[in-house]
């Protein structure tokens, strides 16, 4: 059976009603990797959110808006973009549950940052003004190769990618600053921006700053990453792994 992969939706203020939004590329990429994508509304009802989480075999934290800086103990930077408080609240809960209960979790772009903040890390709020000599990390063309990254050879990330050097796309202006306890930096861009982290004591807790969902098919490292994540979720499902409800 295909594992159920939950993906959070951001809050979307339409012209008449509030809605939820998620780029279709995430669902397509997870389906292509063998998973069943499940779109998660960012409800502030903890009991309902918990029930949704318990039904999942894996959690994908996607890209999106900036994270409220107060969450990681900072004042807003002048270049802070739009924030989404309901999304922050829901994703931080989901990420912490996934980490504490060993449910496979993959963070992408904003999700990379959420996973780090959820575990106690911090962020640069604006790369251009806070990291001297930084590369251009905000490239509008979603499938364009923006820069190379170097992957730690002895990391799980390298095993997953099947490579220690690769080119990636890039669509962000924030980045990891202090890495959360328990996580290791497993990839960096040439300007030292952290491009991947992993938690060695977890079955699958890994995040990347680039967008693999926009590069498949055809980008081997992205394909391998999504297959590894969905595969771990499938293994968990086959084992019948469950966790006690903490609603």
Tens-digit pLDDT profile for residues 190-205: 999 999 999 999 999 9
**The architecture CATH gives domain 4-239:** 3-Layer(aba) Sandwich (3.40)
What pTM value is reported for the model? Answer: 0.95
- Inform me whether the pLDDT recorded for 102 exceeds 80: yes
Positions annotated as catalytic residues are 109, 211, 213
Residues 6+ apart with CB under 8 A from 161: 151, 221, 224, 225
Contact call for residues 92 and 42 (beta carbons, < 8 A): no
Rounded Cα distance, 67 and 85, in Å: 8
Mean pLDDT over each residue of the chain, to the nearest integer: 95
10-55 confidence digits (pLDDT tens): 987 666 788 999 999 999 999 999 999 999 999 999 999 999 999 9
- Inform me whether the pLDDT recorded for 245 exceeds 60: no
Burial class of 118 by CB neighbour count within 10 A (0 to 12, 13 to 18, 19+): buried
CA-nearest of 184, 60, 174 to 123 is 174
Q: Which two tokens stand for residue 96?
A: 């912490």
Strand order in the sheet with 147-151: 36-40, 4-8, 58-61, 105-108, 205-208, 194-198, 184-188, 147-151, 165-168
Contact call for residues 182 and 95 (beta carbons, < 8 A): no
> Apex CA 85: angle with CA 79 and CA 91, to 5°?
110
Q: What is the mean pLDDT of residues 54-81?
A: 97
């Amino acid at each position: 059976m295909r594992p159920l992969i939950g993906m959070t939706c951001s809050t979307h203020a339409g012209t008449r009603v509030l809605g939820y939004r998620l780029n279709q590329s995430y669902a397509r990429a997870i389906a292509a990797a063998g998973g069943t994508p499940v779109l998660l509304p960012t409800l502030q009802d903890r009991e309902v959110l918990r029930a949704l989480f318990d039904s999942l075999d894996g959690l994908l934290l996607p890209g999106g808006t900036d994270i409220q800086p107060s969450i990681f103990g900072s004042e807003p930077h002048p270049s802070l973009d739009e924030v989404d408080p309901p999304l922050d609240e829901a994703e931080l809960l989901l990420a912490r549950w996934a980490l504490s209960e060993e449910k496979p979790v993959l963070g992408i772009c904003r999700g990379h940052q959420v996973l780090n903040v959820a575990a106690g890390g911090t962020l640069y709020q604006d790369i251009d003004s806070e990291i001297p000599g930084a590369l251009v990390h905000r490239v509008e063309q979603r499938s364009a190769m923006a820069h190379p990254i170097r992957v730690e050879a002895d990391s799980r990330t390298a095993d997953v990618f099947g490579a220690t050097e690769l080119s990636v796309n890039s669509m962000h202006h924030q980045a990891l600053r202090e890495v959360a306890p328990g996580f290791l930096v497993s990839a960096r861009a040439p300007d030292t921006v952290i491009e991947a982290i992993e938690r060695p004591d977890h079955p699958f807790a890994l995040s990347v700053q680039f967008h693999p969902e926009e590069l498949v098919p055809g980008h081997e490292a992205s394909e391998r990453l999504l297959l590894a994540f969905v595969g771990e979720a499938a293994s968990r499902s086959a084992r019948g792994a469950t966790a006690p409800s903490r609603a």
